[in-house]
Every structure is written in structure tokens, then in C-alpha cells.
């Protein structure tokens, strides 16, 4: 466990168990140089406890990089709750998690993530002030999608020479809250949509409402398109899948899209422009951070514009240095987090 923490440069790892509610939770705090750690809470089934801990550590590191390049006064953290096989009361479980967060004295602020909802955050908020994306604060998903859409336009400008998306073919993998909102924005911009999701109902909705073309999840990665937008879970880009991509760029909302750092170099070698995921999908983090400190929507929307500007800056560095944008983004983030 300590070797995992050292490799990720993690500040702290907190574990909690509450037999009465069934809570088994991990909170990873990666970096608090710029402020308290902020990051979502996942509620998922894991193969084992080590997998849950590894997930929390990896995601917390990504949140630190995301927060640093988004220019908000927060560090990165992540929480994972291992979903029990048998649950008596979901509310009681999240209330217990709220009490756990309160013991950290403000070093970590939670938010919704895979498997959690604003209703869950409401339960947590009964026992701590260090929770955001509650029912009153609102769902950050539309703002994540808004930032990704702006980033896709910046990516099209950098790779295809224009930020006008009309007529482009964009393949959206994953139609959850963010993926579907992104698909709606792309449709409004005149994009030809290719979509896939494990939920056939979400695919059918995109076909009926957005005129999307349904593609199986396996086939989507090898289907010709201008831009591939991974919007599901991470790790979709590996040595095998990248070898068969038929797109000009990859720009999507999913966290941890690269199975390893070397995959970024493989994309670069193939001439496929990669939008670093934690830069592109920072809209949700920006929204929850600014809402939590009381900012109004116009200020939040103005801050979201920094996503495309930062991405354009990274693309310029990458082109000048002949390096992957992912490597450039990591270098810039690490400079802010670790170098004086």
C-alpha cells in the first residue's frame, strides 16, 4: 500500500468501516498544495479491496492534475465506497460516509461520481459541510459536457483546421449523463453521430432524438470517424485498441482513458491527436468547486472557457516539442504541483 502511495506521490490514504451500515470506504488525498482535496465519490462493486484502493489512488492523482490545470483553489482527492452484496439502507450507508468525511476536518470535499447521486450527497451533507453536488447545488454533468464540447471544437481546430463541427463524424462511446448531454450539443452543431452504450435504451433514445447511428461497443473503436469521444469508464485506449483506431483525434469525457502513459506516444506516432482527458473533462470539477464556494452561474460559465484555452496551449506546446499532448499536460501539471 505504501509503495502505491509513493509511486503516485499521494499525501494520505484513509480507510473506514462501519459494520452497522455496511460501509467500507477509501478516501485518497493526493495533493493539497492549492487547497483542500476535491473529488467525487464512487459507489461500485470491486473484485477485491486492493482494486478499490488502487482505483481511489489513481483517480485522486488525476484530480490533482485536473484541478491544477483548471486553475481552481483545490487539490485532488477521490473516494471509493465498495458496494456491498446486501444493503439494508442506502441512506444509512451514505450518512455513515458523511460522518467519516467530517473526521478529516475539511481536508477532503466529496461530490457525485460513478454510482452516486445528488440524493446520496444530501445524505452525506447531513453530517458534514464538506459535500457538494447536493440537490440544491445541482448536477455537474451538463457543465462537464459543456467543457468537453468546447474542447472538441478546440481539438477540431488543431487537427482539422476549423472549429466548425458541422458535417463531422463523431463517435460517442458511453451515453451516461455526460455522454448524452455531449451528444445533444454535438447534434445541435450539425455533427453526424455514431453512438454506443451497454444500455440499449440510451442508444435508442439517441437514435430517436438525435438521429444517431447505433454501433456496437466493440465495433465503435474501429469505425471510421473524425473524432472519437470516449465517455464511459477508463482504460479504453490500450496498445491493441489504438492500433485499430480509424479517427483523426480522440477527445472525450471519460477519466483515465489511457491504459498506460506509453499509449499516448502510440497515438502520437499514429498521427492521432489526443486531448488529455483531465483537461478536457474539468467542467464538472470547476462547477462543483465554484458552486461550493457560492459563485453564480455566469462566473462558472466564464471559468469553463479556460478549458479550450488551456487545451489550445497544450496543443501548441506539443506541436513545437513534437510530443504527445498527454506528456505536455502532465509536465505542466507537475510543474504547478511539485516545482517551486
> E-strand spans in the chain?
12-18, 23-31, 37-44, 75-82, 108-112, 169-173, 192-196, 213-214, 227-230, 249-250, 273-274
Q: Clarify whether residues 287 and 252 are in a common domain.
A: yes
Annotated binding site for NAD(+): 174-179
Query: So which residues are the catalytic ones?
Result: 78
Q: Is residue 114 part of a domain?
A: yes
Q: CATH number of the domain that 100 lies in?
A: 3.40.50.10860
**250 plus 324 within the same structural domain:** yes
Same domain? 182 vs 95: no
User: Would residue 89 count as lying in a domain?
Assistant: yes
- Joined together, the cell numbers standing for residue 334 give 507537475
The pLDDT assigned to 340 comes to 65
**pTM tops 0.75, yes or no:** yes
Question: Which range marks the domain in which residue 334 is found?
Answer: 140-338
Number of domain units in the chain:
2
State the binding site. 174-179
State whether 87 and 166 are in the same domain. no
Q: Helix (H) and strand (E) counts for the chain?
A: 14, 11
pLDDT at 10: 96
pLDDT tens by residue, 160-177 = 999 999 999 999 999 999
Summarised one tens digit per residue, pLDDT across range 21-65 is: 999 999 999 999 999 999 999 999 999 999 999 999 999 999 999
Predicted pLDDT at 218? 84
pLDDT value at position 280? 96
Let me know whether 48 and 104 are in one domain.
Answer: yes
Residues of the chain where predicted confidence (pLDDT) is lower than 50? none
Q: What is the pLDDT of residue 339?
A: 81
248 lies in the same domain as 120:
no
| Domain CATH number, residue 211 | 3.40.50.720
Q: DSSP for 48-107?
A: SHHHHHHHHHHHHHHHHHHHHHHT-S-EEEEEEEEPPSS-S-HHHHHHHHHHHHHTTTTS
Provide the grid cell at 320: 513545437
Amino acid at each position: 500500500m505504501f509503495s502505491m502511495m509513493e509511486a503516485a506521490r499521494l499525501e494520505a490514504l484513509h480507510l473506514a468501516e462501519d459494520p452497522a451500515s455496511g460501509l467500507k470506504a477509501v478516501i485518497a488525498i493526493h495533493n493539497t498544495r492549492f487547497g483542500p482535496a476535491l473529488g467525487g465519490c464512487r459507489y461500485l462493486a470491486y473484485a477485491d479491496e486492493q482494486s478499490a484502493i488502487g482505483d481511489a489512488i489513481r483517480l485522486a492523482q488525476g484530480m490533482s492534475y485536473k484541478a491544477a490545470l483548471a486553475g481552481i483553489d483545490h487539490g485532488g482527492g477521490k473516494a471509493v465506497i465498495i458496494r456491498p452484496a446486501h444493503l439494508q439502507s442506502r441512506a444509512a450507508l451514505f450518512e455513515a460516509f458523511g460522518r467519516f468525511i467530517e473526521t478529516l476536518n475539511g481536508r477532503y470535499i466529496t461530490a457525485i461520481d460513478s454510482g452516486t447521486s445528488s440524493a446520496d450527497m444530501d445524505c452525506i451533507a447531513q453530517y458534514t459541510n464538506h459535500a457538494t453536488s447536493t440537490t440544491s447545488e445541482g448536477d455537474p454533468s451538463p457543465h462537464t459536457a459543456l467543457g468537453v464540447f468546447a474542447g472538441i471544437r478546440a481539438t477540431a481546430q488543431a487537427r482539422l483546421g476549423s472549429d466548425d463541427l458541422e458535417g463531422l463524424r463523431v463517435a460517442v462511446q458511453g451515453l451516461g449523463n455526460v455522454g448524452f448531454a455531449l451528444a445533444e450539443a454535438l447534434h445541435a452543431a450539425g455533427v453526424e453521430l455514431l453512438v454506443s452504450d451497454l444500455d440499449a435504451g440510451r442508444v435508442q433514445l439517441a437514435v430517436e432524438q438525435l438521429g444517431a447511428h447505433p454501433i456496437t461497443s466493440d465495433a465503435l473503436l474501429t469505425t471510421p470517424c473524425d473524432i472519437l469521444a470516449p465517455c464511459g469508464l477508463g482504460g479504453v485506449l490500450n496498445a491493441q485498441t489504438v492500433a485499430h483506431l480509424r479517427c483523426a483525434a480522440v477527445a472525450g469525457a471519460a477519466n483515465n482513458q489511457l491504459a498506460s502513459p506509453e499509449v499516448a506516444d502510440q497515438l502520437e506516432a499514429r498521427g492521432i491527436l489526443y486531448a488529455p482527458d483531465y483537461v478536457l473533462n474539468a467542467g464538472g470539477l470547476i462547477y462543483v468547486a465554484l458552486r461550493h464556494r457560492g459563485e453564480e452561474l455566469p462566473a462558472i460559465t466564464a471559468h469553463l472557457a479556460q478549458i479550450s484555452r488551456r487545451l489550445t496551449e497544450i496543443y501548441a506546446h506539443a506541436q513545437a516539442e513534437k510530443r504527445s499532448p498527454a506528456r505536455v499536460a502532465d509536465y505542466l501539471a507537475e510543474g504547478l504541483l511539485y516545482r517551486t
